[in-house]
Amino acid sequence: MKIIRNVIIILALLLAVSAEAAERVVVTFPQSFGLIYIMGLSNKIVGMPTQKLHIKNGKLSPFYQHYSPNLAKATDIGFTGAVNLETLLSLNPDLVISSANVSSSQENTKFLRSKGIKVLEIMGGSGSVKNWLEMVKRACDEAGVPDRAETYIKIWEKNLTFVNERLSKIPADKRVKVTLINSNGGEITVRGSRSKFCIDLIKHAGGIVMEGDKDPQDSAACAELVFKFDPDVIIDDYSNTGNCPDWIEHLRAIKNGRVYPIPYDDKDAWITIWTFNAYSPLGLLWLAKNFYPEEFADLDLDKAQDEFCVTVFGSNFKKK
């Protein structure tokens, strides 16, 4: 009995240690950056890929200044495929966020763990909404901040319930057809299954997308597919519909003025794009309101944004 009791005590101590929130965090790949803010660790980052995140010479955009001013002091450690391990070790991190699906990072992970450093491996792309929420829970649990995941997931579930209740009143044959595009440089790319997260978000918001053998994946050469689909709504994930090719002007969505650039809170902090992972609870509401303006006429997106930032990040941040 004494041996069993000692084992239980040791396990309890180990769990207590593992549950301590990190104080010195190193991030090795940009795709995980939004997750860091959900985890409440954004102001504890001591090393990160500053060039990849477009943070140069310690100059921070308004979002970063507001929520994580210490980023200005963070050291550039390279990025997933080219981490400077010597620099990383010199920062004495107690948590390193690394990629689980980049082969070059696996040896680094093994090396860092041999040095007693905790490494949290997560996928570079979150896949579906379900995959993303599972990732949030696991990351927060392993980082010792499970309550942060609970808070974030509750917001997601609340918004999804609200949207589903309104959508239940809309017949299937009245649902809008939606095409997601990128208009960077005037070259139209039609998004499809390769942009899995945003496509899944559109479906949750009640949009119908091209699927099956008509799925464009991510293609710049699928005008014929788009013409046949003739969407009611176009969502532009680049927020720039200028200088687009002539053919797009003949689509129903263009003629009816239903092209919507995705909003963001800070143009220089891409993690604040509303349909990206971190901000997706807001993206869901924004999509639903634009798809079905009458059914969601009372939805106050500014109020939703205020509540989201206060609840998840700890204080409000006005969109720039």
Q: What is the pLDDT of residue 99?
A: 81
The secondary structure of 46-86, three-state, reads EEECCCCCCCCCCCCCHHHHHHCHHHHHCEECCCHHHCCHH
> How much is the mean pLDDT over the chain?
85
Q: What are phi and psi of 47, to 5 degrees?
A: -150, 140
More confident residue, 141 or 6: 141
Q: What is the pLDDT of residue 246?
A: 62
Q: Span 210-236, mean pLDDT?
A: 80
Q: What is the pLDDT of residue 130?
A: 92
Least confident among 155-169, 178-192, 237-251: 237-251
Q: What is the pLDDT of residue 82?
A: 82
Q: What is the pLDDT of residue 101?
A: 72
Percent of the chain with pLDDT over 70: 87
Please write the tens of the pLDDT for every residue from 84-96: 999 999 999 999 9
Please write the tens of the pLDDT for every residue from 157-183: 999 999 999 999 999 999 999 998 877
Q: Is the pLDDT of residue 293 over 60?
A: yes
pLDDT category at 126 given cuts 50, 70, 90 is low
Q: What is the pLDDT of residue 13?
A: 36
- Name the residue among 94, 131, 100 with its Cα closest to residue 115: 94
Most confident listed range (73-82, 99-108, 151-160, 310-319): 151-160
Q: What is the pLDDT of residue 33?
A: 87
Percent of the chain with pLDDT over 90: 54
Q: Is the pLDDT of residue 11 over 70?
A: no
Distance set, CA 196 to CA 129, 180, 277 (Å): 9, 11, 11
3-class secondary structure, 97 = strand
Q: Span 64-73, mean pLDDT?
A: 92
* DSSP code per residue over 185-250: GG--EEE-GGGHHHHHHHHHTT-B---GGG---EESS-HHHHHHH--SEEEETTS--TT--GGGGG
Query: Which residues does 25 contact at the CB level (< 8 Å), separation at least 6?
Result: 36, 41, 44, 45, 46, 93, 94, 95, 96, 97
Q: What is the pLDDT of residue 215?
A: 72
Q: What is the pLDDT of residue 220?
A: 66
